[in-house]
């Protein structure tokens, strides 16, 4: 079964074809970073217009890369939410139209399910069950995963997501857009231990997170009269260390509480090198193992949507409902 995946939830247009027998046949991503950089953040209207412009070309490019004809597609999967309403509607309309034209089933996929299952696309995938740490720009969640579609929320951020905290802190440190990767790169050049930043909810006893206070603590440091701009890399390193320490501690607690030994990390912040090092080191000591998506599949892409669609289709969850453009921006 060949499934076309379409991702347009935010500022990346992603298209991929996953074959249940042969694996990932092709995947293409167009990022809108340059388009939004001048505004310091994603401008929803510009994002939608760019998805409209790029999507048909990317679909053609992906079909060519996969050596596949449109008529060979067995199903179309698209990100139905959460995300920007206008951006989601572009992918949804395209997918539903294509499904109607081809007489192929269309599967609306939850963006986070795509992220969560993406480590299963790697060469050495984890078996079920596992704990998933989802760390993206919009979500920070710990989930107990027993199978496709079997997800139990164990804990989540009560305010900002980890990626959001990276992005907002980068902005207040005067770094460019997108802030998260730039802040992480700056932190690599800094020394930790100079700034005492909080570890929010570290000892809350549950599996929830809070990151908005950390951003405020950084704001307090840079607003103080003693602040020196040349210390920015050290502050970035201390900020990153604080986020990573809390993410690590809670992920380990989730493994302890569930009795599971496999941890899957997904979402953009999962690309963070320091987070990976800390998680690998602290789980190795306990004989546990951490699984990550391929680096290029950490951030938004169509492959994870095609894959989630293929797994759902294989499980007979093709819907079969009347064609309708369904999006759920706050799903
Ligand atoms: O999963 P993703 O591409 O999009 C969402 O679904 O949100 O995640 C994007 C988030 C952004 O907040 C970005 O700043 C963050 O992931 N991010 C990072 C790194 N790379 C991306 N945060 C910390 N370190 C990184 N290396
Ligand atoms: Zn995402």
Q: What is the DSSP string of 90-123?
A: HHHHHHHHHHHHHT--EEEEEHHHHHHHGGGGSS
Q: Please state the rounded mean pLDDT for residues 136-156.
A: 96
- Residues 80 and 223 placed together within one structural domain of the fold: no
Ligand 1 atom 2: residue of nearest CA: 268
Q: How far apart are the first and last CA of the chain?
A: 28
At 213 the pLDDT is 96
d(CA 132, CA 154): 10
Quote the ligand 1 centre to 178 CA distance (angstroms): 9
pLDDT band at 115 (very low <50, low <70, confident <90, very high): very high
Q: Which contiguous run of DSSP H or E holds residue 30?
A: strand 23-31
Q: Please state the rounded mean pLDDT for residues 202-221.
A: 97
d(CA 236, CA 244): 12
- The pTM of this model reads 0.94
- Residues 6 and 33 placed together within one structural domain of the fold: yes
At 295 the pLDDT is 84
Mapped onto helix, strand or coil, the DSSP state of residue 182 is helix
Top-confidence residue, 177 or 44? 44
Q: What is the DSSP letter of 198?
A: -
- Residues 72 and 219 placed together within one structural domain of the fold: no
Instruction: Annotate 1-18 with b (16+ C-beta within 10 A) or e (fewer).
Output: ebbbbbbbbbbbbbbbbb
User: Is 136 among the annotated ligand-binding positions?
Assistant: yes
At 318 the pLDDT is 78
pLDDT at 183 over 80: yes
pLDDT band at 16 (very low <50, low <70, confident <90, very high): very high
- Residues 109 and 184 placed together within one structural domain of the fold: no
Tell me the angle at which helices 179-188 and 232-258 cross, rounded to the nearest 10 degrees.
100
- Residues 76 and 143 placed together within one structural domain of the fold: no
At 176 the pLDDT is 85
Q: Please state the rounded mean pLDDT for residues 63-82.
A: 97
Quote the ligand 1 centre to 138 CA distance (angstroms): 9
> Using CA of residue 243, residue 210, residue 158, residue 278, what is the dihedral sign?
positive
137 lines ligand 1 (CB under 6 A): yes
- Residues 282 and 173 placed together within one structural domain of the fold: yes
Ligand 1 atom 20: residue of nearest CA: 181
Q: In this structure, what CATH number is given to the domain that contains residue 176?
A: 3.30.420.40
Quote the ligand 1 centre to 137 CA distance (angstroms): 5
At 122 the pLDDT is 93
ipTM: 0.98
Number of domains forming the structure of the chain: 2
Top-confidence residue, 323 or 301? 301
pLDDT at 323 over 80: no
- Residues 99 and 158 placed together within one structural domain of the fold: no
- Residues 163 and 264 placed together within one structural domain of the fold: yes
User: Is 274 among the annotated ligand-binding positions?
Assistant: no
14 lines ligand 1 (CB under 6 A): no
Range of the domain at 98: 2-116+298-314
138 lines ligand 1 (CB under 6 A): yes
Mutate to test the pocket of ligand 1, among 165, 239, 243, 268 (most ligand atoms within 8 A of CB): 268
Q: Establish if 331 belongs to a structural domain.
A: no
Quote the ligand 1 centre to 218 CA distance (angstroms): 19
pLDDT digits (tens, 9 = 90+) for 240-289: 999 999 999 999 999 999 999 999 999 999 999 999 999 999 999 999 99
- Residues 106 and 163 placed together within one structural domain of the fold: no
The overall average pLDDT reported for the chain is 96
Q: Establish if 121 belongs to a structural domain.
A: no
């Amino acid at each position: 079964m060949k499934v076309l995946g379409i991702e347009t939830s935010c500022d990346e247009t992603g298209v991929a074809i996953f074959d249940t027998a042969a694996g990932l046949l092709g995947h293409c991503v167009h990022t809108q970073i340059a388009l939004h950089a001048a505004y310091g953040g994603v401008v929803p209207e510009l994002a939608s217009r760019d998805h409209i412009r790029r999507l048909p070309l990317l679909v053609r490019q992906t079909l060519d890369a996969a050596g596949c004809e449109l008529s060979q597609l067995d199903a179309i999967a698209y990100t139905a939410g959460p995300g920007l309403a206008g951006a989601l509607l572009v992918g949804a309309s395209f997918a539903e139209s294509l499904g109607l034209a081809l007489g192929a089933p269309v599967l609306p996929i939850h963006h986070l399910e795509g992220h969560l299952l993406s480590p299963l696309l790697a060469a050495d995938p984890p078996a079920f069950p596992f704990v998933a740490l989802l760390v993206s720009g919009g979500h920070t969640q710990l989930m107990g995963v027993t199978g496709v579609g079997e997800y139990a929320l164990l804990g989540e951020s009560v305010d900002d997501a980890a990626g959001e905290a990276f992005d907002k802190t980068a902005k207040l440190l005067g770094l460019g857009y997108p802030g998260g990767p730039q802040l992480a790169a700056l932190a690599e050049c800094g020394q930790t231990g100079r700034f005492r930043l909080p570890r929010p909810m570290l000892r809350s006893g549950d599996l929830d997170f809070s990151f908005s206070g950390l951003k405020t603590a950084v704001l307090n440091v840079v607003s103080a009269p003693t602040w020196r701009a040349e210390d920015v890399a050290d502050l970035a390193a201390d900020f990153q260390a604080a986020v990573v320490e809390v993410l690590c501690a809670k992920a380990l607690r989730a493994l302890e509480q569930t009795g599971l030994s496999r941890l899957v990390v997904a979402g953009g912040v999962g690309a963070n090198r320091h987070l990976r090092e800390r998680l690998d080191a602290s789980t190795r000591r306990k004989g546990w193992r951490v699984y990550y998506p391929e680096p290029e599949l950490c951030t938004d892409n169509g492959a994870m949507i095609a894959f989630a669609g293929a797994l759902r289709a294989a499980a007979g969850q093709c819907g079969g409902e009347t064609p309708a453009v369904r999006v759920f921006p706050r799903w």
